[in-house]
Amino acid sequence: MKLGVNIDHIATLRNARNEGRPDLIEAVKLILHHDISAITMHLREDRRHIKDEDLINVKNLNAPINLEMAATKEIQQIALKILPHSVCIVPEKRQELTTEGGLDVSGQKEYLKEFIKPLKENGIIVSLFIDADKEQIEASRYIGADYIELHTGTFSSAFKKGDFASELEKLKQGTILAQKIGLKVNAGHGLDYENVSLMKQIPDLKELNIGHSIISKAIFTGLDVAVEEMIKLIK
């Protein structure tokens, strides 16, 4: 199981003043020597954190970018220009604080099947951010995704309340079903230093995408230590 470090919130802090601090590129350089699988960045439609030039600058470092994106033509064109290592298609609403809920794949199967074709043809690995729901998992397989990323937000909230067994079980069962039908499985959202070890109970998860808890810890420990400690917990 590998770590994908989501750097959106470094950009959030930078954008609070728009004076280039903290420098996203300096941050990526600090992270890249770790044994991570991805630098994860969400280019939102409203560009509230990551900007187009951030993607170009990170790509120029030869970093393995995992681009979180809505299934819109505009962002698809950018993905085809940047050619990230992978994309993770997420639902996106302008008013939300962060990605809320998984993508509805089964409700837009044919659209998504066509949408991901050029991405795959250009060698980009395609993942879909979904809830651990049978219908969504089967639809993900149908449209030809390589990976799914299971939404761990509900599990993470349940963990805070101390009653997470059934949410963890849903993630396990969803993973087993997905793997059985030929999908590889990642997970992410709301994972932190307290709950992340439980992900080891889920068989053969490939990647955990984690952002907010790492960047929050980095304020106190520095980014290098924050990333290193998370890697230790998931190994």
Residues that bind ligand PXP in the complex, under the rule CB under 6 A: 6, 8, 42, 68, 88, 90, 98-99, 129, 149, 188-191, 209-213
Cβ neighbours of residue 220 closer than 8 Å, sequence gap 6 or more: none
Distance (Å, whole) CA 62 – CA 167: 37
- Whether residue 68 lies in the annotated active site: yes
Beta carbon nearer to ligand PXP, 59 or 102: 102
Beta carbon nearer to ligand PXP, 84 or 188: 188
Beta carbon nearer to ligand PXP, 7 or 143: 7
- Whether residue 194 lies in the annotated active site: no
- For the bound state, the minimum distance from the C-beta of residue 150 to ligand PXP, rounded and expressed in Å, comes to 10
Beta carbon nearer to ligand PXP, 129 or 159: 129
Which one of 68, 92, 149, 167 is the catalytic residue? 68
Closest CA to 84 of 58, 66, 61: 66
Q: Are 127 and 146 in contact (CB under 8 A)?
A: yes
Q: Are 198 and 224 in contact (CB under 8 A)?
A: no
- For the bound state, the minimum distance from the C-beta of residue 188 to ligand PXP, rounded and expressed in Å, comes to 3
Distance (Å, whole) CA 55 – CA 77: 13
- Whether residue 228 lies in the annotated active site: no
H or E stretch covering 130 = strand 125-130
Distance (Å, whole) CA 219 – CA 165: 31
Which one of 42, 49, 151, 207 is the catalytic residue? 42
| C-alpha distances in Å from residue 168, one per residue of 85, 152, 197, 235 | 29, 9, 12, 19
Which one of 92, 151, 167, 189 is the catalytic residue? 189
Say how many C-beta atoms besides its own lie within 10 A of residue 234's C-beta: 17
Q: 83: which 2 tokens?
A: 């050619």
Beta carbon nearer to ligand PXP, 59 or 189: 189
- For the bound state, the minimum distance from the C-beta of residue 38 to ligand PXP, rounded and expressed in Å, comes to 10
Distance (Å, whole) CA 174 – CA 193: 23
- For the bound state, the minimum distance from the C-beta of residue 195 to ligand PXP, rounded and expressed in Å, comes to 11
Catalytic annotation, residues: 42, 68, 189
